[in-house]
Amino acid sequence: MNPHLDELQPYPFQRLRTLMAGATPDAALAHVNLSIGEPKHPAPCCVKDAIASSLHGLSGYPATQGSDALRAACAAWLQRRYGVVADPATEVLPVNGSREALFAFAQALIDASGIEKPVVISPNPFYQIYEGAALLAGAEPYYVNTLPEGRFQPDWGAVPEAVWRRTQLVFVCSPGNPTGAVMSLDDWKTLFELSDRYGFTIASDECYSEIYFDAPPLGGLEAAVKLGRDFTRLVMFTSLSKRSNVPGMRSGFVAGDARILAQFLRYRTYHGCAMSPLFQSASVAAWDDEAHVLENRALYAAKFAAVMPILASVLDFAAPDAGFYLWAKVPGGDDAAFARGLFEREHVTVLPGRFLARDAHGANPGEGFIRIALVAPLDECVEAAQRIARYARA
């Protein structure tokens, strides 16, 4: 077996199950699960209709590169959303959701054949796929803490020169999971300058980009265009899961550096991960339609507007720039104890922040926080917020 498998840590939800083992919540209270970022809003009709009308696609093998129509729809969305012009033939590649693509990208990109072990940098807290992808590619993960006093952005200046010299890949997540923080143009400028200096590739995870409350979040390719750059060593990852409430479709795309995407396509041809023709057709319909995205965004905005006033007096948090998470500091500072007690007393599940982070540089930046995913229907989110407030005051 691959020896790097032994380096993988339990997934956050496995740790959550262990934490809750033996807990006996009040059966009279209906369970509200706000621990996992799984969209619960209905899938749009345009997607379901496209699937129903594309069943003939089951009779053929799909192309790994995706259909011309799908790549064109993705490129057209990039231009409408970001003002970015990408060549659908060379700079856009459909993938089976951002999770699969983020993992596979590291396997295709990392060169572990040298004398020095390569480094993959990620924010901390982070989406655990970044770490697993690095480890199984034979690289060393390096965590850059994101803290409230730094706008929940990585402090790139704290990374030692010796680490930068070994760095081949940097994962960024904007809007961030779990913090909801969005990178500014100055943040991107700093990271691009570091990429120019040290030669690493940037993997920009933007799967929460369409759930926002004020201004649309800046994207990585958009930042490059604004700064007069091309897409060299830059690839963005996006998905329909959150934007269009279709996590079961496993559909997204990557876009950026054509040279890197050509090699990534070669890898994927052997990897055997072509998207179903049904879901390719449905994805075209989803990327072409913005009406359901506006409705989806309004549903999340209503939940935040209802929930934040209830929790403001008992938890310490800032409204996120985007995404559907509240990243809240708990009274007493013990996020795991708070989460277990909340489940036992109020039958509400949230995720302890420490499960999303690693001990790094003398601290675990997730410790003392909980992640609240406002994915349940509005009435359930409000009920859960009232129970959280009640528990925090007890």
User: What order do you get walking across the sheet with 369-373 strand by strand?
Assistant: 325-329, 369-373, 351-352
Residue 114 has pLDDT above 90, yes or no: no
Please determine whether the domains at 3-42+292-393 and 57-288 fall in the same fold group of CATH: no
Which amino acid, residue 135?
L
Give me the torsion for CA of 77, 82, 83, 85, rounded to 10°.
-60
Q: Which residue bears the tokens 């199984």?
A: 136
As a whole number of angstroms, the distance between CA 92 and CA 71 comes to 6
As a whole number of angstroms, the distance between CA 286 and CA 107 comes to 29
Residue 245 has pLDDT above 90, yes or no: yes
Q: How, if at all, do strands 119-124 and 167-173 pair? A: parallel
**pLDDT of amino acid 350:** 98
Q: Which residue bears the tokens 């277990």?
A: 340
As a whole number of angstroms, the distance between CA 381 and CA 375 comes to 8
**Cis preceding linkage at 125, omega within 30:** yes
> Which two three-digit tokens encode residue 159?
């990374």
**Mutual orientation of helices 335-346 and 12-20 as an angle, nearest 10°?**
60
Q: Domain ranges for the chain, please list them.
A: 3-42+292-393, 57-288
> Which two three-digit tokens encode residue 116?
């020095």
- Superfamily of chain region 3-42+292-393: Aspartate Aminotransferase, domain 1 (3.90.1150.10)
**If you classify domain 57-288 with CATH, what class do you get?**
alpha beta
- pLDDT tens-place string over residues 50-82: 999 999 999 999 999 999 999 999 999 999 999
As a whole number, the mean pLDDT across the chain is 97
